[in-house]
Amino acid sequence: MRLLLFNLATDVDDPILGFTTGWIQALAQQVESIHVITMRAGRVEVPDNVRVYSVGKERGYSEPRRVMELYRTLFRVLGSNSIDVCLSHMIPIFTVLTAPVLKAKGIPIVTWHAHRQVTMILELAHRFSDRMISINDSSYPYAHDKLTSLGHGIDTGLFSPNGIRPDHPPLLLSVGRLSPIKDLLTLIEALNLVRQHNHKVRCALIGNSLERDHEYGQLLHQKVRDLRLQDAVQFVGGIPNGQVVNWYRRCFAHVNLCPTGALDKAVLEAMACGKPSLVANEGFVETLGQWKTALLFRQGDPGDLAQKIESLLPLTETQQQTMAMDLRQRVAERHSLDRLTESLMQVFRTVQRN
């Protein structure tokens, strides 16, 4: 099989999208070739049967020029290669712009999308795609007539316990952008409550704020100062995907405060490292299994979150290990990269036949 892949960013060091390199590497083992057309490229590490072409966002190209580069690259790839299937990953605008060309050549389109916002671009991408794929049903906000849910694709070889003992005093971890949807003010307030109960818990926030969320990032810093938590809250900033794993291993628990909707992969990465993830997103209930009561808290409720955090602190090492092993196993069964790769290949074969 020869695959055309549209990708939002192809860069091992990207704090948010660095994981896509692992996806490309895994798919490359299953197909004859992959041609990746990406909005932005950084440090590229791919096998010999993969070619990566950027439309130039990292070079500062304007939107009109990037559209021209997309078509120029597409015609070059199609002119010299036979393509069996196109996978568009988190970039529905590429699906829409290229659909007339791909349909004319009989190339089926599979679009991956996991975001709560419904836009006209998404609606058009849904119409033009042969299949839509997402993490689970709650991760895809539009019509489900074409939807296949495949899980998240966590590299459980990279994200693993590795025997590192957690920090002391205990470290809470939150991984993700500093944006309002992450509800980090609730986390800071919950941490303050925990420390008022004489638990010397610290917190590390890994992630940057986008330009549009700059004021929110400042608000978080101000909240920390107002509550006099400067010695307890560390703003780490964005770091490469592969370096986050050691932070997961150092923490005693990970916290994700996003509301119900798309499943944040950081939650699953932490669980794959054997760490409990406290979540407000009810979409994780199946993955949490028997631990849902202990790990699911009311969204936007710092008191409830503080209570859940405090309930984890007195667990014995045996209890921690039991939880860790079970959570990692549940991630491996539902969201591993191997499972995702196999499922993607099944989808590709299905749309080819149709």
Same domain, 241 and 344: no
Same domain, 212 and 341: no
- Structural domain harbouring 308: 171-334
Closest to 347 measured CA to CA, from 148, 210, 171, 151: 148
Same domain, 206 and 223: yes
What integer pLDDT is reported at residue 234 of this predicted model?
A: 97
Q: How far apart are CA 117 and CA 313, in angstroms?
A: 37
- State which H helix or E strand residue 24 sits in: helix 19-28
Q: Which two tokens stand for residue 343?
A: 């499922």
Place of tokens 């909005």: 39
Query: Is 163 within the bounds of a domain?
Result: no
Same domain, 61 and 196: no
> 147-149 and 171-175: which strand pairing?
unpaired
Same domain, 106 and 197: no
Query: Is 298 within the bounds of a domain?
Result: yes
What integer pLDDT is reported at residue 333 of this predicted model?
A: 94
Q: How far apart are CA 283 and CA 216, in angstroms?
A: 26
What integer pLDDT is reported at residue 348 of this predicted model?
A: 98
Closest to 47 measured CA to CA, from 22, 68, 31, 28: 28
Helix (H/G/I), strand (E/B), else coil: 340: helix
Query: Is 175 within the bounds of a domain?
Result: yes
Three-state secondary structure of 44-75: CCCCCCEEEEECCHHHCCCHHHHHHHHHHHHH
Query: What is the CA 13 to chain-centroid distance, rounded?
Result: 14
Same domain, 180 and 287: yes
Helix (H/G/I), strand (E/B), else coil: 43: coil
- Output the CA angle 253-138-294, nearest 5 degrees: 30
What integer pLDDT is reported at residue 130 of this predicted model?
A: 98
Query: What is the CA 105 to chain-centroid distance, rounded?
Result: 32
Region of 240 please: left (phi>0), alpha (psi -120 to 50) or beta: beta
Same domain, 27 and 118: yes
What is the DSSP annotation of 270-333?
A: HHHTT--EEES-GGGHHHHGGGHHHHB--TT-HHHHHHHHHHHTT--HHHHHHHHHHHHHHHHH
The tens place of each residue's pLDDT in the chain, 354 residues long, gives: 999 999 999 999 998 899 999 999 999 999 999 999 999 999 999 999 999 999 999 999 999 999 999 999 999 999 999 999 999 999 999 999 999 999 999 999 999 999 888 999 999 999 999 999 999 888 899 999 999 999 999 999 999 998 778 899 999 999 999 999 999 999 999 999 999 999 999 999 999 988 899 999 999 999 999 999 999 999 999 998 889 999 999 999 999 999 987 789 999 999 999 999 999 999 899 999 999 999 999 999 999 999 999 999 999 999 999 999 999 999 999 999 999 999 999 999 999 988
Same domain, 277 and 347: no
Residues 6+ positions from 166 with CB-CB distance below 8 Å: 249, 250, 251, 252
Same domain, 95 and 131: yes
Same domain, 9 and 98: yes
Query: Is 18 within the bounds of a domain?
Result: yes
Which DSSP state fits 179? S
What integer pLDDT is reported at residue 150 of this predicted model?
A: 95
Assess contact for 194 and 306: CB atoms under 8 A.
yes
Assess contact for 38 and 23: CB atoms under 8 A.
no
Same domain, 78 and 66: yes
Query: Is 69 within the bounds of a domain?
Result: yes
Query: Is 220 within the bounds of a domain?
Result: yes
Same domain, 37 and 79: yes
Report the number of distinct structural domains present in the chain: 2
Query: Is 161 within the bounds of a domain?
Result: no
Query: Is 319 within the bounds of a domain?
Result: yes
Closest to 308 measured CA to CA, from 216, 186, 131: 186
Q: What CATH number is associated with residue 70?
A: 3.40.50.2000
Which DSSP state fits 125? H
